[in-house]
Amino acid sequence: MATAPVFPSLGDALNALAPGASLEARRPVGGGDINRAYRLTLSDETELFAKANASSLLPMFEAEAEGLAALRATGTIGITEALGTGLEPEAFGQDASFLLLAWLEPGAKRADFWETFAEELAAMHAADTAFLFPERGGQTTYGFPLDNYIGSTPQINTPKDSWVDFFRECRLHPQVRMAYDGGYLERSAMRQADAVMERLESLLPEPDHPSLLHGDLWGGNYMTGPDGKAWLIDPATYLGHREADLAMTELFGGFSPAFYSAYRSIAHVDAGYDERRDLYNLYHLLNHVNLFGYSYVGSVLHILNRFGG
Q: What are the residue numbers of the active site?
A: 216
Q: What are phi and psi of 141, to 5 degrees?
A: -140, 135
List Cβ neighbours of 161 (8 Å cut-off, separation of 6 or more). Answer: 139, 140, 141, 142
